[in-house]
């Protein structure tokens, strides 16, 4: 039998279709709705009052609560509750003579028991972690021009970045503005101490290890930033014809998870011991000096205990290790295991001119194999960053253009 919610979804506006429900007050603290099929929905009355939808309490133009409470709604009790079948609404009468009504649909969408549904659908699509052998199956590829022209493709690209952690674009023109165009297609480019658009090529007096032709071991960019760059957009204009110059990549969240399963004590050390990440110098000839410093562990979890950020860059790890002496050796053992696992799971591929390699810089360890750079044999990439706040926002506007309604 179809659930009430599905019926409403499928047959909206057919007013003859009604869900019968009964409402009751439990201990004046909760309101319980029992639907005809026996399904129950339960809401704290303080939350109902806090989210009253009447024009005195709610400003429809911005879909937000009005700020008429100084201390919050905790002290107003519900007096009576009933379900109005005709209007398909829960009606609450409060002790201060206020009345609130809530559409059943609205309540169902805010069911506390199904809260994960909202987090997965709207907050962030669940990530799919992958091992080396699953690389091909997780590779999503798009045509550059389609990403620029079609919103549906832009959405697929951003979804792939959020879920798989990387994606490849093909067919970009030989133009240094490609990365800016992609960043602005999403929203806003990120300005950093390396500028907004940066050129990755072998440079004399290189101000960053990435601007050499030596191997660039697995790392994440900018661990030395509190607001670390979200995605890295790397456009290949010229690829080295020498052997090497290939990209390497490992899913850092997959590695963290493997470490957690196989070596929980090491995981705990890398999750908890803070490392000082630093970057001191200046970029190119502009000579604007910088001194970046951010203290954070290698594996960072978010408030839900999900993987949030990996920090790793050997060249940016400060020799000032500001932890108790007794933690140091154990930390190095854990770090060594993490890097062994990361290297064992690293994939390697060589981009061609016109390719744009885009990846989640909070998640993917990435690097590059050594190459020979000479006047006749060059390698030239152009890069830019975009923050995840901007990307998720764009993704949601594409997926839910009527979110406010």
From 96-104, 134-142, 192-200, 367-375, give the range in contact with ligand NM2 by CB under 6 A.
Answer: 192-200
Nearer to ligand NM2, 245 or 383 (CB): 383
Under rule CB under 6 A, residue 233 binds ligand OGA: no
**Which has the closest alpha carbon to 341: 272, 232, 265, 267?**
267
**Beta-strand pair 141-143/99-103:** unpaired
Under rule CB under 6 A, residue 366 binds ligand OGA: yes
Minimum gap (Å) between residue 221 Cβ and ligand OGA? 5
Sheet holding 231-238, edge to edge: 141-143, 166-170, 356-360, 231-238, 380-386, 197-200
Partnered with residue 247 across adjacent β-strands are 349, 368
Residue 392's φ and ψ, nearest 5 degrees, are -60, -40
Minimum gap (Å) between residue 383 Cβ and ligand NM2? 6
Minimum gap (Å) between residue 124 Cβ and Zn ion? 23
313 binds, among ligand OGA, ligand NM2, Zn ion, none (CB under 5 to 8 A by kind): ligand NM2
Residue list 169-228, contact with Zn ion (CB under 5 A): 221
Q: Which helix (H) or strand (E) covers residue 237, if one does?
A: strand 231-238
CA distances from 261 to 256, 264, 362 (A): 9, 6, 21
Interacting residues of 276 by C-beta distance below 8 A, sequence separation 6+: 293, 294, 295, 317, 318, 320, 321, 322
Under rule CB under 6 A, residue 360 binds ligand NM2: no
Residue list 285-324, contact with ligand NM2 (CB under 6 A): 313, 316
Cα–Cα distance, 361 to 348 (Å, whole number): 17
CB atoms under 10 Å from CB of 179, counted, come to 26
247 binds, among Zn ion, ligand OGA, ligand NM2, none (CB under 5 to 8 A by kind): ligand OGA
Binding interface with ligand OGA (CB under 6 A): 200, 210, 216, 221, 234, 247, 366, 368, 381
Binding interface with ligand NM2 (CB under 6 A): 194, 198, 200, 208, 210, 221-222, 279, 313, 316, 383
Binding interface with Zn ion (CB under 5 A): 52, 54, 56-57, 221
């Amino acid at each position: 039998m179809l659930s009430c919610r599905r019926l409403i979804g499928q047959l909206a506006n057919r007013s003859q279709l009604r869900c019968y429900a009964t409402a009751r007050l439990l201990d004046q603290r909760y309101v319980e709705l029992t639907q005809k099929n026996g399904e129950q929905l339960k809401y704290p009355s303080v939350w109902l009052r806090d989210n009253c939808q009447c024009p005195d309490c709610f400003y429809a133009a911005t879909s937000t609560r009005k700020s008429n409470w100084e201390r919050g709604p905790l002290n107003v009790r519900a007096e009576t509750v009933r379900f109005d079948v005709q209007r398909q609404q829960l009606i609450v009468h409060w002790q201060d003579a206020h009345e609130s009504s809530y559409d059943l649909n609205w309540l169902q969408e805010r069911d506390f028991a199904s809260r994960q549904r909202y987090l997965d659908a709207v907050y962030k699509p669940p990530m799919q972690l992958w091992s080396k052998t699953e690389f091909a199956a997780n590779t999503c590829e798009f045509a550059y021009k389609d990403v620029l022209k079609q919103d549906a493709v832009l959405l697929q690209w951003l979804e792939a970045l959020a879920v798989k952690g990387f994606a490849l674009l093909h067919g970009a023109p030989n133009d240094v503005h490609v990365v800016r165009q992609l960043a602005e297609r999403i929203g806003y480019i990120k300005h950093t101490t390396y500028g907004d658009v940066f050129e990755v090529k072998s440079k004399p007096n290189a101000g960053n290890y990435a601007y050499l032709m030596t191997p660039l071991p697995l790392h994440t960019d900018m661990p030395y930033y509190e607001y670390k760059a979200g995605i890295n957009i790397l456009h290949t204009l010229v690829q080295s014809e020498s052997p090497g110059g290939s990209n390497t990549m490992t899913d850092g969240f997959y590695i963290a998870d493997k470490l957690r399963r196989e070596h929980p004590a090491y995981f705990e050390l890398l999750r908890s011991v803070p490392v000082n990440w630093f970057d001191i110098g200046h970029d190119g000839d502009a000579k604007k000096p910088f001194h970046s410093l951010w203290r954070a562990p290698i594996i960072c979890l978010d408030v839900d205990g999900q993987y949030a950020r990996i920090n790793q860059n050997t060249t940016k790890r400060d020799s000032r290790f500001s932890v108790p002496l007794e933690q140091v050796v154990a930390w190095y053992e854990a770090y060594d295991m993490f890097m062994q696992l990361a290297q064992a799971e690293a994939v390697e591929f060589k981009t061609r001119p016109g390719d744009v390699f885009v990846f989640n810089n909070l998640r993917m360890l990435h690097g590059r194999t050594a190459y020979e750079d000479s006047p006749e044999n060059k390698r030239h990439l152009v890069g830019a960053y975009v923050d995840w706040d901007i990307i998720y926002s764009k993704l949601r506007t594409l997926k839910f253009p009527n979110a406010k309604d």
